[in-house]
């Protein structure tokens, strides 16, 4: 047997396959020089065979473990992560004796079928959208499921800068439908429903490829049988595990106003803060600059070192209006300009706060937008008339 006939594996994958740690952690161990092959420290990317002696910290790693494949009926509230410090993680929930990890994700508020394994080779072959392996869901929403809604969901929905692939959608009840996907975009079904104004009340995954939840109650799990794995292996035999299979959707047309309602680039957020498709035109920018002259004049006219000089700041004028003069032991108020309402004063306070924050933030943040909005309010504000004095009310005497 020649050297070419011996099956070789990358060192990080070889260590991961033994269940010692993940590939990323194996890379760190190799970089730190804690891994040896036949007594010698290897380089990154070195390949090994079953005949080589691989050791970590001087101790040989165990032989490859038997492949483990688990089907779990995940309950609501469990997080599909291997991070053990996160409360309610799926690894602690199952508490299996050897290292395993979930294949894909199922949102924390969702429930249903999910696979866990120690076989890294099969993960991408199942998950890649281009491999077109089916996942089936039962979804309950807050509005009546209409024919237009079902047709729209089936034909593709613009979310996350793409259009979802066509899928199978059928009505199961007035507020319930069944959907079969071959993709796995982030919160895909929830985003698709929100595009049509529907909110998901419950979401349950009932099937992955040829495996369903039959016989599994919520929170229960079981090992997949040899016959089930043989069928899965035949289904993924021609599947790709590379990025070429990550064809997540159709090309999204460049149309204005078509956005997901979730995330930082949603239509509502763009409209509220004035960016993206809702960014101001050059003409609007010029108009905004013209209307800001009043505010700029007010800001530049106030000189703290010259308090006695007149100023055009209506706020300081209002503050100086409460002067009193004494005439024949009676207190008489000077004529005062009208005071501003509490809402206008609060608007000024919000503006000052936003201005201070804007100095520490990059341009076009929400703080600068709030400042511009409050500025426009104050520029168009009209003073509210002072309430007339009522005969018999007490007046303050100047000490």
Cβ neighbours of residue 195 closer than 8 Å, sequence gap 6 or more: 152, 157, 158, 159, 260, 261
DSSP string for residues in 52-98: S-EEETTEEPPPPPPP-EEEEEEPTT-B----TTSTTBHHHHH--SS
CA distance 76 to 382: 54
Alpha carbons within 13 angstroms on the beta-carbon side of residue 143 total 11
Q: What is the SS3 assignment for 11-47?
A: HHHHHHHCCCCCHHHHHHHHHCCCEEECCECCCCCCE
- Point out the catalytic residue in the list 17, 50, 95, 107: 107
The two tokens of residue 305 are 């070192």
Q: Name the strand (E) or helix (H) holding 176.
A: strand 176-181
Q: Is 298 considered catalytic here?
A: no
The two tokens of residue 182 are 């071959």
CA distance 250 to 160: 11
Q: Which residues are catalytic?
A: 107
């Amino acid at each position: 047997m020649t050297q070419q006939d011996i099956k070789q594996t990358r060192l990080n994958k070889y260590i991961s396959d033994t269940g010692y740690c993940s590939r990323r952690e194996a890379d760190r161990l190799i970089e730190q020089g804690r891994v040896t092959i036949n007594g010698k420290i290897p380089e990154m990317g070195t390949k090994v065979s079953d005949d080589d002696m691989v050791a970590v910290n001087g101790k040989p790693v165990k032989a490859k473990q038997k492949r483990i494949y688990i089907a779990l009926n995940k309950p609501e509230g469990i997080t599909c992560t291997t991070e053990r410090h996160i409360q309610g993680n799926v690894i602690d929930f199952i508490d299996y004796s050897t290292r395993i990890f979930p294949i894909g994700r199922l949102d924390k508020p969702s429930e249903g079928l999910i696979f866990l394994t120690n076989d890294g080779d099969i993960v991408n072959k199942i998950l890649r959208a281009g491999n077109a392996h089916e996942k089936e869901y039962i979804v309950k929403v807050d509005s009546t499921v209409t024919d237009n809604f079902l047709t729209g969901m089936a034909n593709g929905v613009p979310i996350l800068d793409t259009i979802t692939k066509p899928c199978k959608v059928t009505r199961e009840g007035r507020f319930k439908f069944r959907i079969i996907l071959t993709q796995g975009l982030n919160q895909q079904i929830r985003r698709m429903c929100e595009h049509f104004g529907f909110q998901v009340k419950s979401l349950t995954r009932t099937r992955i490829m040829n495996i369903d939840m039959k016989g599994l109650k919520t929170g229960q799990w079981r090992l997949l049988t040899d016959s089930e794995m043989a069928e899965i292996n035949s289904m993924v035999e021609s599947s790709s595990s590379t990025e070429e299979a990550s064809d997540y959707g159709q090309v999204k047309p460049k149309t204005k106003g078509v956005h997901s309602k979730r995330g930082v680039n949603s239509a509502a957020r763009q409209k509220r803060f004035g960016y993206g498709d809702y960014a101001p035109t050059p003409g609007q920018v010029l108009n905004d600059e013209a209307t800001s002259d009043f505010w700029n004049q007010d800001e530049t006219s106030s000189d703290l070192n010259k308090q006695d000089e007149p100023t055009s700041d209506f706020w300081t004028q209002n503050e100086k209006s409460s002067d009193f003069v004494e005439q024949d032991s009676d207190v008489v108020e000077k004529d005062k300009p009208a005071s501003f309402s509490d809402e206008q004063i609060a608007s000024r306070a919000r503006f000052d706060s936003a201005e201070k924050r804007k100095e520490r933030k990059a341009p076009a943040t929400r703080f600068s937008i709030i400042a511009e909005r409050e500025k426009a309010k104050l520029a168009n504000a009209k003073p509210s008339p002072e309430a007339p004095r009522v005969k018999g009310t007490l007046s303050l005497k100047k000490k």
